[in-house]
Amino acid sequence: MVLLLDGNAVSQSVKQDLRQRVERLQHHGVFPGLGTLLVGNDPASARYVAGKHRDCAEVGIKSIKYDLPESATTEDIIRTVDDLNADAQCTGFIVQLPLPKGTDTHAVIDEIDACKDADGMHPYNLGQLVLHVSGEISTPLPCTPRGILELLAAYNIDLDGKNVCVVGRGITIGRTIGLLLTRKECNATVTLCHTGTRDLHEQMKRADVIIAATGQPGIVQANDVKDGAVLVDVGIARIQDKTTGKWRISGDIDTSARNVASAYTPNPGGVGPMTRAMLLTNVVETAERQAFGK
């Protein structure tokens, strides 16, 4: 029987653990807070930020919300980032991407205090991940890659010695998850594929695990998957039904591919909830390091 990797269920378990850890922190006079900075009025970004604040309420983390208009300049955004850096009630925060056209996104990210980088995507924190091939890392980890590994671990999927094909070279997943997968604790072998990969079908067919993160619906088909592979679908796209005209969410992995897999993540309901849970985890862990010297 094919195993469904339920991100909703596992994320709830993570949140239950976080609730207890937040209560312990509060008992010691430490109150974790998550800040968000939303620039503009993109509906998808607004929904995502709102979801993060609902998650905060579930586990007892304080919500700190900053909104700026679409017309905000890079300098305006950086000033707000500096406010969040200085806010003692803010344990960690995120700048919701994408930022409006014309914004210097790299300059904004560079301005974030690396200790408060709840996304785990600051250059300093990624650099620490590069340096530490094994052992404990005391800086925030990138949320989506970490969420994927936590989800696989929850279902006892061992990655030691496995061949993992990552499809997509975006910074959120493709260029970062290999850093976690190739640490000695994971010990996987990673092939990173992208638009320049000439033998994509063959690369995927050899993989024990496929992690697809391109945003191209159905880029992974059943004939791309070897029997018993594990399928992790991270890509999200909105497609319109030709018959009804209604829009729906589609992932990178065609549903027919599940028939030859040993396990798969649904989309939605797989990696997404885990990403949000790891965001909260980064915030709580930062507070614990401050409070207990972890």
Residues 217 and 229: beta-carbon distance below 8 Å: no
Our answer to whether residue 26 is catalytic in this structure is no
Rounded to 5°, the CA angle 226-233-42 comes to: 160
Question: 147-193 pLDDT, tens per residue?
Answer: 999 999 999 999 999 999 999 999 999 999 999 999 999 999 999 99
pTM: 0.94
Q: How confident is the model at residue 241 (pLDDT cuts 50, 70, 90)?
A: confident
Q: Which of 15, 55, 117, 119 is catalytic?
A: 119
Question: 245-265 pLDDT, tens per residue?
Answer: 888 888 999 999 999 999 999
Q: Is the pLDDT of residue 292 over 80?
A: yes
Question: 184-229 pLDDT, tens per residue?
Answer: 999 999 999 999 999 999 999 999 999 999 999 999 999 999 999 9
Q: What is the mean pLDDT of residues 6-11?
A: 98
Q: Which of 15, 96, 208, 254 is catalytic?
A: 96
Our answer to whether residue 242 is catalytic in this structure is no
Q: Which of 52, 117, 233, 254 is catalytic?
A: 52
Report d(CA 120, CA 129) in Å as an integer.
10
Burial 231-260 (b: 16+ CB within 10 A, else e): bbbbbbbeeeeeeeeeeeebbbbbeebbeb
Strand ranges (E), 133-186:
163-167
Our answer to whether residue 96 is catalytic in this structure is yes
Percent of the chain with pLDDT over 90: 90
Report d(CA 284, CA 60) in Å as an integer.
10
